[in-house]
Amino acid sequence: MAQKIKLSTIGEALGVSTATVSLALRDSPLVAEATKEKIKAHARQMGYIYNRRAASLRTSKSGIIGVVVHDIMNPFYGEILKSIETELDRSRHTFLLSNHYDNVDKQRDFLDTLMQLGADGVIMSPAIGTPIEDIDLVLRNGLPVVLIARSIPKASLPVFRGDDSFGIGLATRHLISLGHKRIAMIGGTDDTSTGRDRYQGYLTAMKKAELAVKPEWRIPGPRTKQAGFEATGEFLALPDKPTAAVCWNDLVAIGLMNGIARAGLTPGTDISVTGYDDLEEAAIATPALTTVWNGQPEVGRRAARALLDRIDGVSDQSGTLELIRPELHIRQSTSPVKERA
């Protein structure tokens, strides 16, 4: 490259001070219209590129927002990310993305990088077991933090997520209303608030309907298609074989349906399956998946807005929990129970 064009390069070329150039390029009313025009034209023509690091050294605003999730390849987070992206684009912020894969150290490294870069704020779905000190350090360095999808115990932060126990209740009651009495719950673990909430929601719905629940009916596990697929064996071998399965999420449900089909049964007819999240994929699965919409676009949009408000000092750092209300979307993976009761 040729030599770098900076404010002073332009200033010298035009015989004005760098301050004037800086002001002009940012459209300050302090500079005469004619001067502005001349400066802007010259800057464009010389191929000037604004140096954000120099500016942010002075202003301590970097325009960078960090986003940390478990895994961007998980479409649930992908859909949230998409709405965050839309919202941040609008306000000309750039986002730095990282997966933590539920590794607290990796997450801490990334938070550290954000602080070093002088990020303006963080949106995160915290790794399982995130110590409160890690978050406190970030807050003490002046970065507002908002959480999505998961809460951190004892932390007083804004959280945006779906109402899990209500949502899983919708799915469970739907199966009950179709006459199912033996319903399993596949996937998820108890080490996140979401995990506990969903299991509780399922238990509550079963109890309300006065249905017995066997502990073996819960097959915990990761939240992936692979895991759902692999759980099939255990599920089909269950004593008092359940006629339906409430799955942790759509991925697990789709994996389970694939497994069921592979075993020669027909998912949706022989065994009813519900998902959770309502990913775009749910509608085109075979059979189309009955699932609970978990408000991904809402979560992303509102979390981004909340963070921007906090960055602008419009709002404070208090710990509000905003639960998005899930909706049941009934499709073909659930049907009335087959067996003669």
Q: Rule CB under 7 A: which residues touch DNA?
A: 4-8, 15-20, 22-23, 25-26, 29-33, 35, 48-51, 54-55, 57-60
16, 35, 40, 85: residue in contact with a copy of itself (rule CB under 8 A): 85
Tell me the C-alpha distance between 104 and 238, whole Å: 35
17 vs 156 by CB, closer to DNA: 17
How many other CB atoms are found less than 10 A from the CB of residue 153? 7
Q: How far is the CB of 196 from a copy of itself (least distance, A)?
A: 28
Partner that binds at residue 15, options DNA, a copy of itself, none, CB closer than 5 to 8 Å by kind: DNA
Binding to a copy of itself by CB under 8 A, coded x per residue (else -) over 238-277, reads -----------------x-xx--xx---------------
* Interatomic CA distance for residues 157 and 151, integer angstroms: 8
Query: Which DSSP string corresponds to 218-235?
Result: EE-B-SSHHHHHHHHHHH
Q: Of 112-120, 157-165, 202-210, 213-221, which part binds a copy of itself (CB under 8 A)?
A: 112-120
Give the whole-angstrom CA distance, residue 335 versus residue 177: 10
Supply φ then ψ for residue 245, to 5 degrees. Answer: -135, 130
* Nearer Cβ to DNA (37/109): 37
Q: How far is the CB of 177 from a copy of itself (least distance, A)?
A: 25
CB 224 within 8 A of CB 277: no
Residue in the block written with tokens 């069921």: 260
Helix axes 75-90, 250-262, angle to 10 degrees: 150
Instruction: Report whether 308 contacts 150 (CB < 8 A).
Output: no
Least separation in angstroms between CB 29 and DNA: 7
142 touches which of DNA, a copy of itself, none (CB within 5 to 8 A by kind)? a copy of itself
* Nearer of residues 48 and 199 to DNA, judged by Cβ: 48
Q: How far apart are CA 210 and CA 59, in angstroms?
A: 62
30 binds, among DNA, a copy of itself, none (CB under 5 to 8 A by kind): DNA
Q: Among DNA, a copy of itself, none, what does residue 115 contact (CB within 5–8 Å per kind)? A: a copy of itself
Sign of CA dihedral 229, 230, 231, 237: positive
Q: Which of residues 35-74 bind a copy of itself (CB under 8 A)?
A: 47, 49-54, 56-57, 62, 64, 72-73
Q: Does 3 bind a copy of itself (CB under 8 A)?
A: no
Q: Which residues contact 58 (CB under 8 A, 6 or more apart)?
A: none
The residue among 55 and 139 lying less far from DNA, judged by its C-beta, is 55
146/131 Cα distance (integer angstroms) = 16
Shortest approach of a copy of itself to residue 178 CB, angstroms? 22
The residue among 37 and 136 lying less far from DNA, judged by its C-beta, is: 37
Q: Helix and strand tally (H, E) in the chain?
A: 12, 12
> Which residue's CB is nearer to a copy of itself, number 82 or number 329?
82
CA neighbor of 67 nearest in space, from 309, 325, 335, 307: 307
Q: Which residues bind a copy of itself (CB under 8 A)?
A: 1-2, 47, 49-54, 56-57, 62, 64, 72-73, 75, 78-79, 81-82, 85, 94-97, 99, 110, 112-113, 115-118, 137, 139-142, 225-226, 229, 255, 257-258, 261-262, 280-281, 284-286
